[in-house]
Amino acid sequence: MTKPDRIKAEISFHEKMFFAALAVLLSIIGWSVSHYTQISSFILFAALIGLFLSLLFGLWNYKLIKKLLLELEDAE
């Protein structure tokens, strides 16, 4: 596998992980909004932590994708 093909495969993988993090982020927000009066504060706090971690994971993948795109531009 050539270097550009490997970078393209990595970009594809990290794009999927980015959109998975986005889906988790939106799911946690939706679940929290619809159940915030029925759940304990501990579970709501755990959902907030999950929201924060999902956001960090998505941002990390976004930065990695941008770096790989620059690397791909230099490889070709």
CB 12 within 8 A of CB 63: no
Instruction: Give this prediction's pTM.
Output: 0.83
CB 51 within 8 A of CB 15: no
* pLDDT tens digits, 1-43: 788 899 999 999 999 999 999 999 999 999 989 988 898 989 9
* 54 contacts: CB under 8 Å, gap ≥ 6: 21, 24, 25, 28
Structure tokens at 62: 């976004």
* 24 contacts: CB under 8 Å, gap ≥ 6: 50, 54
* pLDDT tens digits, 31-76: 989 988 898 989 989 999 999 999 999 999 999 999 999 998 887 6
Domain boundaries, the chain: 3-75
